């Protein structure tokens, strides 16, 4: 049986990609976290992987520089999640090592989500002005984000043969799972107008021309390009805080909850595998409960 951790790591990555169906990006992330762990700790065999080794690595992580001081606890936890999954795999294949339950995640602060206000959202959606193909494309992108709650990678993978005779379409999300998303009237109109303006034959729904290649067919927009587009219109709309496609996804979820949608439905619409991921939005429902309590509690008491 293979006994060196480097080879076992390779087998683990193959396992989560093939048997567990994890995305290529997830596999790449796990590879990064585990490779850094092995390089820093210099452990070679499963028996060398002890609680003290993990503790020393965590201390090293905590002292690494981040955007604002030390590395964020949330980022540090990503390393521990990858290591814990690796240890579970070792136990599954009968390799003696540290028990995965010995690894606890660091407590993180329950900070509020990065959100934009309803007024800022409206200004953002109105920011693409004009009837040029670029303006119509960008208006479609923003409207689709807010109408469907798509991830930026999901939006970039859409093709131009989208069926606009219906108010819904299927999208392939994380873990190759398919879910249905729905088009609002404004999103449907924006996409339809944009497609009528299109003069190319690219199969991608959203395209852009590469500088210096004007004669060629436009290429499919990348997630990075879409992030730049969103940022550009946020600045144009006078929004001073950072705005990303994911923040519009947050706005999509909170809008549903504020208008009475239940958490399970929002989970399905977002494509979250676990309800715990969706519970990050409970601050919205909590606020609603406070309003219910204030409106209806203790009305019969006197004095």
Tokens 């929004």 appear where? 239
Mean of per-residue pLDDT scores for the chain: 87
Name the residue with higher pLDDT: 133 or 110: 133
Tokens 């409206």 appear where? 122
Residues 77, 81, 87, 90: what is their CA dihedral angle, to the nearest 10 degrees? -150
What 114-119 contacts at long range (C-beta under 8 Å, 24+ apart), as own/partner pairs, is: 114/241, 114/242, 114/247, 114/250, 115/247, 115/250, 115/251, 115/254, 116/239, 116/241, 116/243, 116/247, 116/251
Q: Is the pLDDT of residue 65 over 80?
A: no
Name the residue with higher pLDDT: 287 or 63: 63
- Which entry of 174, 189, 220, 283 is annotated as an active-site residue? 174
Contacts of 212 (CB under 8 A, 6+ apart): none
Name the residue with higher pLDDT: 66 or 73: 73
- Which entry of 22, 139, 250, 272 is annotated as an active-site residue? 272
**Annotation says 249 is catalytic:** yes
- What is the structure's pLDDT at 212? 45
In order of their start, the domains of the chain are 5-102 (1.10.150.130), 118-291 (1.10.443.10)
Candidate from 63-72, 113-122, 144-153 with smallest mean pLDDT: 63-72
Neighbours of 62 (CB within 10 A): 13
Q: Is 173 helix (H, G, I), strand (E, B) or coil?
A: coil
Once rounded to an integer, what is the mean pLDDT over residues 108-118?
Answer: 69
Contact 139, 146 (CB under 8 A): no
Q: Is 158 helix (H, G, I), strand (E, B) or coil?
A: coil
Q: Is the pLDDT of residue 254 over 60?
A: yes
Once rounded to an integer, what is the mean pLDDT over residues 56-72?
Answer: 80
Name the residue with higher pLDDT: 277 or 189: 189
* Model pLDDT for residues 150-206, shown as the tens digit of each residue: 999 999 999 999 999 889 999 998 878 899 999 999 999 999 999 999 988 889 999
Rounded to 5 degrees, φ, ψ at 68 are -130, 80
- What is the structure's pLDDT at 23? 76
Q: Which two tokens stand for residue 60?
A: 């090293």
- Which entry of 123, 179, 209, 246 is annotated as an active-site residue? 246
**Annotation says 151 is catalytic:** yes
**Annotation says 246 is catalytic:** yes
* Model pLDDT for residues 76-108, shown as the tens digit of each residue: 899 999 999 999 999 999 999 999 999 988 876
Q: Which of 134, 131, 132, 156 is nearest to 144 (CA)?
A: 156
For strands 178-182 and 69-70, give the pairing. Answer: unpaired
**Annotation says 15 is catalytic:** no
């Amino acid at each position: 049986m293979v006994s060196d951790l480097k080879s076992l790591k390779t087998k683990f990555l193959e396992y989560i990609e093939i048997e567990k169906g994890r995305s290529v990006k997830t596999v790449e992330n796990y590879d990064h976290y585990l490779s850094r762990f092995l390089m820093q700790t210099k452990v070679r065999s499963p028996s060398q992987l002890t609680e003290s080794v993990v503790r020393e690595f965590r201390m090293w992580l905590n002292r690494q520089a981040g955007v604002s001081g030390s590395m964020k606890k949330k980022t540090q936890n990503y390393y521990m999640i990858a290591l814990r999954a690796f240890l579970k795999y070792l136990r599954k294949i009968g390799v003696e090592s540290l028990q995965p339950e010995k690894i606890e995640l660091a407590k993180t602060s329950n900070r509020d989500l990065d959100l934009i206000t309803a007024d800022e959202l409206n200004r953002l959606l109105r920011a693409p002005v004009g009837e040029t193909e670029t303006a119509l494309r960008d208006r479609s992108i923003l409207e689709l984000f807010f109408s469907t709650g798509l991830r930026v990678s999901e939006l970039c993978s859409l093709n131009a043969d989208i069926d606009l005779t219906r108010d819904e379409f299927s999208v392939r999300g994380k873990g190759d799972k398919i879910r249905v998303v729905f088009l609002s009237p404004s999103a449907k109109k924006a996409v339809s107008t944009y497609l009528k303006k299109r003069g190319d034959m690219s199969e991608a729904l959203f395209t852009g021309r590469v500088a210096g290649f004007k004669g060629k067919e436009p290429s499919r927009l990348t997630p990075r390009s879409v992030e730049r587009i969103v940022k550009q219109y946020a600045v144009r709309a006078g929004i001073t805080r950072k705005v990303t496609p994911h923040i519009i996804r947050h706005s999509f979820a909170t809008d549903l909850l504020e208008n009475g949608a239940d958490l399970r439905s929002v989970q399905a619409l977002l494509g979250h595998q676990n309800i715990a991921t969706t519970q990050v939005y409970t601050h919205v429902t909590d606020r609603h409960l406070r309003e219910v309590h204030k409106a209806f509690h203790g009305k019969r008491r006197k004095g």
